[in-house]
Chains A and B, each alone.
Chain A
């Protein structure tokens, strides 16, 4: 039998036995698989028979391992019931490199928290029944963020501050006005885990270092608030 038909028979046999489908290189044959993947992505890489042989070897030697892997998958409750294949076929599925690249970039940024395209952080307002999440990357300034947050939390009347406190927070664009008689202080937790007053550093720096936001009640910001008043006053 020729090598191509041998390879195809291996493909078919494996399918019937273990419901083979093409999957990410990984698992027990990670090395060979990842070589194939690298070659797949490498525009000018070696192709053809050597990889066909790799393919064949992967299928032939891994039959036992695939059965084990299948059992493993079932017991660990993996989503897919099909055994992921070890081998990667060059140029299959037939999708243009341009499209492949776009999809892989998107997967990367969707998977990463705080990746290239988004910087989602939790926002809590003291007294509000639940938290929200905002993507800091869609705003260009503290002003925009402040406007967005006030719209987001406008439906709450918060604790014992009364409508007044909340209104001040909502109406004003400037951080300074937060301090005038209102009891709210915007703070954030930075990369080092410290709680900082919002507004000290340039916007971009803030976006890159902010891990979460907390709009504190003034009464809790003792120690923080007086300095905050000074800082805000000096900004206006």
Chain B
């Protein structure tokens, strides 16, 4: 906008609103609302999409009163380390109060996206009943509901476009939730139930797919066999995103031959996932689709080995996103590097969680990818070993990383060649990647790596640390250096009270801080809570009971602090003490 701000104040509000409509990212919208009172009011009444990164940072009442035109809400609940069982059950993150408040407040809710929240069947039922225009439900890593709740959504949401369930823990009640979609439902654009464990009515699924002519994305669960998939694909040639169910069949059978020709007609498919059960001899059937794919997720397919994977990858020249298991090996990654020149995001997951198997991928694979894929900007890499030299080469080849997450199976493994800490390698990454926003470090690391991170990682927003560092200095380097830091999560590292209390004002500029199995004592946490009333400082202690009367010197197992406008939360369980 080259018009001076003062001139814009003479524009009628409708014009301002029209201009703000082009501002979609919530960060920019937040910035717009801070310019002046006038802009705050116009922005406030025109915003329909709200993102809340921590559901306890603000109350639902405040949300509804500030944004009366709310249509789409994104909420995140538990801290990230809850994914790895570090947060006990019943910690919190309940969505029910939000749905209740929005229903009472007559919000015209159309879209709800939840991550790491507890979603009960009651909340799904309330959701389905309360919002006549509800269109889109996306649940990622949530829990607490059953297929009965899904049945309520299917039955009542007449305009449902999207039902997307990703990696949730859902109890299967053997009901017929899929059959609850009425015959009049033709609006579905996206249906993903890959994480469900139970059977679905295949005939109902087929009918549903046939009548939803706008269906773009379909991801089924393992209970949907290949025969059913084949019939579905015949009726939905417009699909762009497909998640397969069970991919096992006798390659000599008639169904398989039909499947082959069906896949040849699937010219619109750009994204493929699923393969929860797969027999390698069936894979060639998808080769015709591979050359159009931009996204491929084979990270659940432990039944495929590297030679089959290699054959498959050779067909995928347009791939931009690849999620795979480490069974692909360094050799397979070499093939990816020479074939997938458009690759932007790579995730290599461990097939063997205990590290007693073969060293499937090493630094060699990572270097190959960095050399072959110039557009690479996001990586999650689980590996058995790493070297500083390799990381330096990777940094040189790929200065465009936005997300760099390395995870060594042994959390304190040193450089495989020199036996030195991996400080220099990660130092090279942060120095070269000026746009780095997210970083996870692992391996043997001293305070030095944090010095580098503090010095160079200027855009860093999220940092994950485990079993690293020598002293409080490490944590201080990060807190002092990373000006844009929003989320810091630390486990099993020797950072203590001095680091915690050095710059208490910093935490109000961040969304949250998690520290578990560090060197914190209750006294320091109390001091912090007292100085910073706008923070909730939660002590999660399951072992020794900690309460108001406990001694200052008591060690704190887990501490989670976050800025909030809502004060201490009222739904905290017994084992959580908010200071």
Q: Which residues of A contact B (CB under 8 A)?
A: 2, 4-5, 7-8, 11-12, 15-16, 20-24, 40, 43-44, 46-50, 52, 79-80, 82, 84, 88-100, 102-103, 106-107, 110, 117-118, 134-135, 138-139, 144, 148, 151-152
Contacts and interface: CB of A to CB of B under 8 A. Distances in A.
Contact of A91 (B81, B358, B470, B494): B81
Q: 9 nearest interchain CB pairs?
A: A91-B84, A48-B557, A23-B356, A98-B167, A44-B89, A94-B84, A24-B354, A11-B412, A106-B302
A97 B358 contact: no
A120 B85 CA distance: 37
Contacts of A49: 517, 543, 555, 557
Contact of A47 (B302, B519, B557): B557
B407 A93 contact: yes
A24 B356 CA distance: 7
A79 B355 CA distance: 12
B356 A84 contact: yes
B571 interface: no
B519 A2 contact: yes
A103 B543 contact: no
B519 A4 contact: yes
B409 interface: yes
Contacts of B276: 102, 106
Contacts of B434: none
Chain B residues touching A, range = 35 or more
Contact of B542 (A2, A24, A47, A80): A47
B210 interface: no
A21 B414 CA distance: 11
A194 B313 CA distance: 47
B88 interface: yes
B357 interface: yes
A93 B350 contact: yes
Contacts of A82: 356
A106 B141 contact: no
Contact of B419 (A8, A16, A144): A16
B354 A23 contact: yes
B1 interface: no
Contacts of B81: 91
Given A15-B410, A47-B542, A107-B302, A91 B356 contact: no
30 contacts: A4-B492, A4-B517, A4-B518, A4-B519, A5-B470, A8-B467, A21-B355, A21-B356, A21-B410, A22-B354, A43-B89, A47-B85, A47-B557, A48-B517, A48-B543, A52-B492, A79-B358, A82-B356, A93-B350, A93-B353, A94-B466, A96-B84, A97-B84, A99-B349, A103-B302, A103-B351, A106-B277, A107-B302, A144-B253, A151-B252
Contacts of B303: 106, 110
Nearest to A137: B248
A131 B567 CA distance: 72
Contacts of B252: 148, 151-152
Interface string B375-409: 00000001010000000000000000000000101
A98 B141 contact: yes
A139 B255 CA distance: 11
A80 B356 CA distance: 7
- Name the prevailing secondary structure of the B interface residues: loop
B263 interface: no
Residue picked from B90, B299, B419, B557, most chain A C-beta under 10 Å: B557
Nearest to A96: B83
B558 to A, nearest CB: 7
B250 interface: yes
A52 B419 contact: no
B353 A15 contact: no
A52 B517 CA distance: 8
Contacts of A118: 248
Given A15-B413, A80-B356, A98-B195, A90 B85 contact: yes
Nearest to A50: B543
B169 A98 contact: yes
B496 to A, nearest CB: 8
Contacts of B444: 12
B466 to A, nearest CB: 7
B69 interface: no
A177 to B, nearest CB: 20
Contacts of A20: 410
Contacts of A92: 84, 411, 466
Interface in B124-170: 141, 167-169
Contact of B88 (A22, A44, A94, A135): A44
A100 B557 contact: no
B260 to A, nearest CB: 16
Contact of B467 (A11, A47, A84, A134): A11
B398 to A, nearest CB: 23
Contacts of A94: 83-84, 407, 440, 464, 466
B555 A91 contact: no
Contacts of B89: 43-44
Contact of B86 (A4, A47, A95): A47
B287 interface: no
A2 B494 contact: yes
Contact of A117 (B248, B357, B440): B248
B493 interface: yes
Contact of A22 (B358, B410, B516, B558): B410
Contacts of B410: 15, 20-22
B83 to A, nearest CB: 5
A201 to B, nearest CB: 22
A2 B541 CA distance: 20
Given A43-B85, A103-B302, A138-B248, A48 B409 contact: no
A12 B419 CA distance: 10
A148 B253 contact: yes
Interface in B463-500: 464, 466-467, 470, 491-494
B45 to A, nearest CB: 39
Nearest to B444: A12
Contacts of B560: none
B412 A8 contact: yes
B85 A80 contact: no
